[in-house]
């Protein structure tokens, strides 16, 4: 059950900046109150914003400026980076940590951005943090718009009167299901695949074929290996936990690559699964979906057809 806003330990606060607005005008009082209460502040934003905020605070005591923006990565890697960042600085004595981040990847499509913001509420739920996200009105490109996404993904909003509860907030599971449904089927699936392996029974043959085709793609050699690893993990899961036959289809364009792995089992219906390692021991197994998510830009699961039969996992990499 999703906790109420008053019960949440992690307080995810959104603020959409107006064009040309001085970021320090609203944010510095928010952080100044934290410092006055003896609570630490971490500013994890690009240099111009971080410098403006640090200067406006007028003190370095209790303030740490992180060297990089932890959200400027693929969603699973962004979540891992921000988790590592806050875990290094959580006071552990009953005080709260106050974190400021910026939009991350301003060139990311709106669905990637929305998923990252929604998942922060899930991944950081048990950490005593006030996390202020500074959002640009242009973040996400085409889509619902920064204001709409900020309201959907932040239980709290920063206003001129301070932090207020956001009645438009949506639970991560509900929002992610809606975003992922909007991406199915992928338009590339209406075209002829670059590679198709039907009723797969040889994983080594799949890896050889993938490496041969992807060597001609726009991906770097390292990105090719990451993509092959992700496809291998998802296909192995389908073979072990799904119902045969397993089919693998790959589409390659100069802009993006899509792999669809289909079996005849039941599609899993938890959009939060795989956004953290199942445990800390790689040798035990159970880490495949987490590893796959960290190697691609998007991984979604859906029924294979309109009747609800079968499961198709789609993996996308932006070239």
- The per-residue pLDDT for range 272-287, each reduced to its tens digit, is 888 865 544 444 445 7
Q: Rounded to the nearest 10 degrees, what angle do helices 75-89 and 110-123 cross at?
A: 40
Say if 5-179 and 185-318 have the same CATH topology. no
pLDDT of residue 138: 66
In degrees, to the nearest 5, what angle opens at C-alpha 50 toward C-alphas 46 and 56?
160
Compare 106 and 262 and report the one with higher pLDDT: 262
Q: How far apart are CA 168 and CA 151, in angstroms?
A: 5
Q: How far apart are CA 213 and CA 199, in angstroms?
A: 19
Query: What phi-psi label fits residue 48: left (phi over 0), alpha (psi between -120 and 50 degrees) or beta?
Result: alpha
Distances (CA, A) of 201 to 135, 228, 247, 312, 314: 47, 17, 10, 17, 20
Q: How would residue 58 be classed by pLDDT, with cut points 50, 70 and 90? A: very high
Query: What phi-psi label fits residue 70: left (phi over 0), alpha (psi between -120 and 50 degrees) or beta?
Result: alpha
**Residue ranges of the domains in the chain?**
5-179, 185-318
Q: How far apart are CA 276 and CA 287, in angstroms?
A: 9
Pick the CATH number of 185-318 from 3.30.2350.10, 3.40.50.12780, 3.30.565.10, 2.40.128.50: 3.30.565.10
Q: Kindly give the residue spans of alpha helices, DSSP state H, lying in 20-171.
A: 23-36, 47-57, 75-89, 110-123, 146-153
pLDDT of residue 69: 77
Q: How would residue 48 be classed by pLDDT, with cut points 50, 70 and 90? A: confident
pLDDT of residue 289: 86
Average pLDDT, the chain: 88
pLDDT of residue 84: 93
pLDDT of residue 105: 59
Q: How would residue 180 be classed by pLDDT, with cut points 50, 70 and 90? A: confident
> For 90-100, what is the mean pLDDT?
94
DSSP 263: E
CB 197 within 8 A of CB 248: yes
pLDDT of residue 1: 41
What tens digit of pLDDT does each residue of 194-251 get? 999 999 999 999 999 999 999 999 999 999 999 999 999 999 999 998 999 999 999 9
Going by their DSSP bridges, the two strands 63-65 and 195-197 should be labelled as unpaired
Please give the class, per CATH, of domain 5-179. alpha beta
Q: How buried is residue 163: exposed, middle or buried, by Cβ count under 10 Å (0-12/13-18/19+)? A: middle
Going by their DSSP bridges, the two strands 298-303 and 97-101 should be labelled as unpaired
pLDDT of residue 179: 85
> For 50-77, what is the mean pLDDT?
88
Contacts with 117 (C-beta within 8 Å, 6 or more apart), sequence order? 12, 14, 133, 149, 150, 153, 154
């Amino acid at each position: 059950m999703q906790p109420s806003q008053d019960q949440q330990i992690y307080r995810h606060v959104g603020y959409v900046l107006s064009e040309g607005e001085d970021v320090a005008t609203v944010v510095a009082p928010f952080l100044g109150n934290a410092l006055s209460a003896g609570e630490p502040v971490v500013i994890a934003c690009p240099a111009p914003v971080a410098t403006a905020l640090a200067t406006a605070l007028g003190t370095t005591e209790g303030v740490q400026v992180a060297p990089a923006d932890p959200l400027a990565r693929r969603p699973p890697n962004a979540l891992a980076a921000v988790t590592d960042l806050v875990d290094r600085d959580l006071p552990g004595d009953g005080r709260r940590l106050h974190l400021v981040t910026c939009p991350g990847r301003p060139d990311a499509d709106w669905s990637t951005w929305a998923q990252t913001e929604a998942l922060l509420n899930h991944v950081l739920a048990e950490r005593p943090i006030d996390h202020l996200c500074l959002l640009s009105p242009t973040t996400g490109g085409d889509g619902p718009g920064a204001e709409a996404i900020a309201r959907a993904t932040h239980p709290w909003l920063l206003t001129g009167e301070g932090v207020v509860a956001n009645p438009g907030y949506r639970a991560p599971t509900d929002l992610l299901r809606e975003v992922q449904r909007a991406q199915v089927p992928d338009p590339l699936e209406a075209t002829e695949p670059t590679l198709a392996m039907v009723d797969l029974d040889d994983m080594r043959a799949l890896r050889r074929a993938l490496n041969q085709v992807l060597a001609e793609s726009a991906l770097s050699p390292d990105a090719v290996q990451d993509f092959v690893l992700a496809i291998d993990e998802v296909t192995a899961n389908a073979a072990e936990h799904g119902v045969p036959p397993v089919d693998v289809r790959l589409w390659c364009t100069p802009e993006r690559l899509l792999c669809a792995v289909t079996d005849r089992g039941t599609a899993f219906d938890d959009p939060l699964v795989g956004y953290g390692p199942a445990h800390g021991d790689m040798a035990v197994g159970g880490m495949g979906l987490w590893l796959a998510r960290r190697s691609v830009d998007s991984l979604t699961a859906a029924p294979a057809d309109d009747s609800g039969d079968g499961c198709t996992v789609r993996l996308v990499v932006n070239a």
